[in-house]
Amino acid sequence: MIKTEELTKQYGKLFAVKNLSLELHQGDLFGFIGPNGSGKTTTMKMLATLLQPSYGEAYVCDLSVYTHPKEIRRMIGFMPDFFGVYDDMKVIEYLEFFAAAYRIAGDKRQKVCNEMLDLVDLGYKREALVTSLSRGMTQRLGLARVLLHDPQVLLLDEPASGLDPRARIEMRELLKRLGGRGKTIMVSSHILPELADICNKVGIIERGELLVNADVSDVMRRVRDQPMLLIQVKDDVDKAAKILESEPCVEKVEISPGKTLEVTILHGKGIDDYCELPTHLIESGIRIVSFREDEINLETAFMKLTKGITA
């Protein structure tokens, strides 16, 4: 659905985006991560045919951004970080205005507008003035607008920017529903834990260059080669630590508050090498409260893989 090959945007000697290559398929929900000024918005604008690349190639739905910009615009929905709304319009009038621009006519126009309002949970605000909406409601209205023509690809630039926690949760659930409809979604955000929750792929960009383009789980593994286990025991924490230290797959054991053992597994060992640890502890009379592998979150991965440099 989206494919770029060495996509580049250059302003004089400055590279806003440099040699960016990625590929997204139908149903992918791609989290686009990077510091401010790293090239996320520039990339999205080139895919939306709002900016001409300096060189390289980009395809949306198998169409080139150079030769088929009008056709691409019919197939995408682009939602910028900040967009204007017409304050003197009612919510339903606002959507009907843009539906007319998409050449949705007659009874179908009203039906589509009402369906989109229901999808973003704004049906009860259909007669309210746009100026009366909260920031979160305005963001959802903007999303409803780009969905009117049923695009196959969504480009969402910071859709959760400036939202309170409840509004962010609502936006996250809405993106999950859209992903379930088979739409290909590229979403940039600084709220990294929420991206990890909804995205199946992530890309990390810095100074215009794509550093990482992989499944979320692959990104986590790249940051931590050695698994770490968190084992909480009921009692006898010192005895449990000595038992674990004697295991051939264990490199280091540390005791943290709450009778929790932080166990580092030797480099290169897989899950089959430490799956017997709970059995050995139980056979030694240790009562286990919990046993799990510590997971690296997306924020930690981002901090380790980037340096905070902008273009």
Domain-embedded: residue 308: no
Domain-embedded: residue 136: yes
Please tell me the total count of domains within the chain. 2
Please indicate, yes or no, whether residues 183 and 256 belong to a single structural domain of this protein. no
Side-chain half-sphere CA neighbours of 43 within 13 A: 33
Please indicate, yes or no, whether residues 253 and 105 belong to a single structural domain of this protein. no
Please indicate, yes or no, whether residues 98 and 239 belong to a single structural domain of this protein. no
Output the domain CATH number for residue 162: 3.40.50.300
143, 167 contact by CB (below 8 A) = no
pLDDT for residue 308: 59
Cβ burial, residue 248 (10 Å; 0-12/13-18/19+): exposed
Domain that holds residue 217: 2-222
Task: Centre a 10 Å sphere on the Cβ of residue 24 and count the other Cβ atoms it contains.
Answer: 20
Please indicate, yes or no, whether residues 166 and 57 belong to a single structural domain of this protein. yes
Domain-embedded: residue 104: yes
What is the pLDDT tens value at each position of the chain, 311 positions in all?
A: 899 999 999 999 999 999 999 999 998 999 998 888 889 999 999 999 999 999 999 999 999 999 999 999 999 999 988 777 777 899 999 999 999 999 998 889 999 999 999 988 899 999 999 989 888 888 889 999 999 999 999 999 988 777 777 877 888 888 888 888 888 999 987 767 667 778 889 898 988 999 888 887 777 766 666 678 899 999 889 999 999 999 988 988 999 888 899 888 786 655 667 888 999 999 999 999 999 887 766 777 777 777 655 44
pLDDT for residue 311: 47
Output the domain CATH number for residue 276: 3.30.70.100
Please indicate, yes or no, whether residues 123 and 214 belong to a single structural domain of this protein. yes
Please indicate, yes or no, whether residues 51 and 191 belong to a single structural domain of this protein. yes
- Its pTM stands at 0.77
Question: Which pairing describes strands 228-233 and 260-265: parallel, antiparallel, or unpaired?
Answer: antiparallel
Please indicate, yes or no, whether residues 141 and 274 belong to a single structural domain of this protein. no
Tokens of 122: 């704004």
Please indicate, yes or no, whether residues 218 and 271 belong to a single structural domain of this protein. no
Domain-embedded: residue 303: no
Nearest to 79 by CA among 180, 148, 1: 148
